[in-house]
Chain A
Amino acid sequence: MLIHEAIQQISTAQPGPAPPTFPILSITVRGTLLKAPCEPCGQGNLVLGFRFSRLVFFLLFSNPTSSPSSGTTTVLARSHAAVAFSLDPPPPPPVAAMTNHTVGGVVAGGGSRVVVGRHGILIRPWPHPNPDEMMRAHRILERVQREQRAQYGVRNPRSVITVTPTYARTFQALHLTGLIHSLMLVPYDLTWVVVEAGGAVTGETEALLAGSGLRTLHIPFPGGMPVEWAERHRTEARMRLQALRIIREKRLDGIVVFTDDSNMHSMEFFDEIQSVKWVGAVSVGILAHSGNAESAAAQAGQNDAVKENPTMPVQGPACNSSGSLVGWHTFNTLPYAGNTAAYVGDRGTVMPMKLEWAGFVLNSRMLWKDNEEKPDWVHDVDSVIENGEELENPLALLKDASFVEPLGNCGKKVMLWWLRMEARADSKFPSRWMIDPPLEVTVPAKRTPWPDAPPELPAEKMAIINDHEVRRHSKSGRISRSRHSSRGRRKRETRTDTQTIGASQSNAQGK
């Protein structure tokens, strides 16, 4: 215990032999029990007055009563040390001794192996981590966490069946990669039903799915994906129905989740849905976004301030105070009335449907043919699916929507987000994102990211760059030109029909 700072007070406060007044004694002791300075720091304010005063204390009080061996030798060792280090208490040096020598030790009691006094600080010759031990430690951590999950996590985890409508387009790689990574992290048994529009299974999608290592069912869907958003929503619904048909045919067992490829899901979402019995609803954060810079700026406040904004961008179940479902929150589309995108790639904000499919999870058993356990408030799914009726959202599958279970703390916790971000319908991208053969045309960017740009850039850009940079650029430009001479030559050419690489919203436009 750190009571030694008390000595300072004692030596000045106790009546008795007055300690000799060293000017150093007037230094106030500020150290507290645990807030003493860090170990290699020798802060003068704390230590100085102490060591001398304690030395004094020892000399005054320990001599008459000390046993011959212990007291004096420790005092002598200390006094020696005290004299040697005059004003600068050094950082404690690691005594790299493998021996345990004690200076003036006092045995604590009869038969004890514990010796009071100065001990060496034992340091092994190679005080660095051993890779085998690291691996063992990680395995231990893994085992402990597995046990924690088994105890506090979900009991009897059910497998998850995720349904994703997709089609090959510029942004598909972006969206699907994100979704693949999320699904790879799901700790439950996962089956991924991918329905692809366009009539056939494309190499694009196939390439992405193959790299995921997930169990996938890749299903083609006749007809291409329409460009108009309204039509696109309807087609997606039909694609999801097709997936439900497949689930029903194959009698897949698990929880059906509608993971659109552009949505973002948190891992807690997959843990939360394990508790669904038949139909569950979760809150979906709606990130209504327009790719256009100007309208995005106007709506930036609305998108960011979720809490302050009274019209929250959340779609999902609404509960009363007792926790039962009373209604639905939908996204307020009125503020965007004049500025809604009509087709993919349009300026304006893409609006969600009234209730997105992504906010619902189903027990696949309610889709099965001739399942007696199926509750009677579910429509005869067979007829719905067989006839290919239009379904706006899974609620149409139910006779009574009040049986829907609100998940995620009654919809208060938002665990997934809806986002629709697409390039123009006619935007092109390299097939499977492999540039082969090399590009015919290199398009100069509006704002070049490389500092060694050739000086052939338009005049207005050069005006922004100051003289110093111009000099630098031209100097390096010379070298770069020799290195990338062909590219520089190409850059000078301007083509009327240029290839846009990436989204139309990006700045990579031809001049």
Chain B
Amino acid sequence: MGLDWWVSSLFLLSFVMLDIGAVELDQNLQTERISGSAGDVLEDDPVGRLKVFVYELPSKYNKKILQKDPRCLTHMFAAEIFMHRFLLSSPVRTLNPEEADWFYTPVYTTCDLTPNGLPLPFKSPRMMRSAIQLISSNWPYWNRTEGADHFFIVPHDFGACFHYQEEKAIERGILHLLKRATLVQTFGQRNHVCLKDGSIVIPPYAPPQKMQAHLIPPDTPRSIFVYFRGLFYDVGNDPEGGYYARGARASVWENFKDNPLFDISTDHPTTYYEDMQRAVFCLCPLGWAPWSPRLVEGVIFGCIPVIIADDIVLPFADAIPWEDIGVFVDEKDVPNLDRILTSIPPEDILRKQRLLANPSMKQAMLFPQPAQPGDAFHQILNGLARKLPHDKSTYLKPGEKILNWTAGPVADLKPW
């Protein structure tokens, strides 16, 4: 009798343990656990799994730049600054470089802003190069691995290609000196020159307090089917259309401007965040680059993101199963967007909403100050921890040199 009881209880326990994708009734909320290709890793704690050493660079690389322009703290590239601040006070930081697994170089390459607030990438390659020269001459750790155990945050449009225009970015390619380093960037597109293997894709920075301030009661019925606010034609830079967004946004407008299911316009309403919470689908089409803060906003507000960007790589793709959460539409299928969206079975839509309602999903997209467990900072560290231990090719044999310090456009070699 006792054995029976043990067996049955063990059976029951195993059932509970194995039920990974179970629907959890969390108080009143129905959410679903999120596990991507790397497993159920969203809630992992990186503390104790890696050690990061932060180089002390002269303030002209970070503090002075920020002082010159404090707008860098609020634009969508602010992740580089907040990551630095987070690492300085994080338990994963070590002051002993000998025991560090990863080395971080705090250089704010995206903080050179125009009067309109757009970052200029023209000095960034030189700034990065100068920083690397500094760390390679003052510390032995760069030369030990030629950067293979170093990581850099490059949240610019096309990452470390350091240009906002795609053709120019592709031409330049990733800065040669960063060839072996791990890049943490917002840009992600498969088979693209500017996305290196082993890079960690992160969401763009979106102000968490601002979004929390616009939450509406969750029982407000979702009555908008598809929602989008933004440009369809970039009249200033591409008046004829066809370049901007590879024509996809223009196609959305032309096909669905008369469709009452699609609430799309170029307006700038003050109720933008509230409207997203009243919508079932939020379009996240590419612009000049495939990524946009709309993805983050859609996740926070529970609006299923409809991603229209061929071959895009979304943030933390190994931890978050984006195919289950969002809807991916090929750019050539945009004219059939209404058919695609209305033919999704309602159970799938409800499941996606459950996944989006998972608080760890929302937390993973944010950069809150101060940092909270499960947020984007921790996901970056988890990603770095998953790349450990470094394999043998990381450490160079004595005398071996891989990087060519004179590669790249001549203009980049000028000192900064």
Contacts and interface: CB of A to CB of B under 8 A. Distances in A.
Interface of A: 1-6, 9-10, 14, 29, 31-43, 46-47, 50-51, 54, 65-67, 70-71, 74, 81, 89-90, 92-95, 100, 106, 108-114, 116-124, 127-130, 133-134, 136-137, 139-141, 143-145, 147-149, 151-153, 155
B233 A92 contact: yes
Interface string B102-136: 00000000000011111111100000000000000
Contacts of B222: 141, 144-145, 148
A68 to B, nearest CB: 12
Interface residues of B, number: 81
Given A2-B287, A6-B116, 4 more contacts: A2-B288, A6-B120, A39-B233, A140-B342
B280 A141 contact: yes
23 contacts: A1-B164, A2-B236, A2-B237, A3-B120, A5-B236, A34-B268, A37-B235, A39-B235, A51-B239, A92-B233, A92-B240, A108-B170, A114-B311, A119-B246, A119-B247, A121-B241, A121-B247, A121-B254, A122-B247, A122-B334, A124-B255, A129-B260, A140-B280
B208 interface: no
Contact of A65 (B171, B189, B255): B171
Contact of B118 (A2, A38, A108): A2
A92 B241 contact: yes
Interface string B254-297: 11101111000010100000000000100000011100000000
A123 B232 contact: no
A95 B242 contact: yes
Given A112-B191, A140-B349, A127 B116 contact: no
Contact of B338 (A3, A110, A129): A129
A328 B152 CA distance: 66
B350 to A, nearest CB: 6
B343 interface: yes
B292 to A, nearest CB: 9
B167 interface: yes
B225 interface: yes
A126 to B, nearest CB: 10
Interface string B159-176: 000001111001100000
Contact of A89 (B170, B235, B268): B235
Contacts of B246: 114, 119
Given A92-B233, A108-B170, A109-B170, A1 B288 contact: yes
B394 interface: no
Contacts of B237: 2, 4-5, 50, 54
A111 B190 CA distance: 9
B49 interface: no
A51 B251 CA distance: 23
Interface of B: 28-30, 114-122, 157, 164-167, 170-171, 189-193, 217-219, 221-223, 225, 230-237, 239-243, 246-248, 250-251, 253-256, 258-261, 266, 268, 280, 287-289, 310-311, 331-332, 334-336, 338-339, 341-344, 346, 349-350, 353, 409
A119 B166 contact: no
A62 to B, nearest CB: 8
A2 B350 contact: no
Nearest to B309: A114
A1 B157 contact: yes
A133 B192 CA distance: 36
A242 B232 CA distance: 66
A145 B349 CA distance: 12
B189 A108 contact: yes
**Interface hub of A117, A140, A148 (most chain B Cβ within 10 A):** A140
A37 B231 CA distance: 9
Contacts of B236: 2, 4-5, 29, 31, 36, 46-47, 50
A300 to B, nearest CB: 33
A274 B344 CA distance: 34
Nearest to B172: A65
A187 B232 CA distance: 41
Nearest to B224: A141
A50 B353 CA distance: 43
Contact of A42 (B190, B235, B338): B235
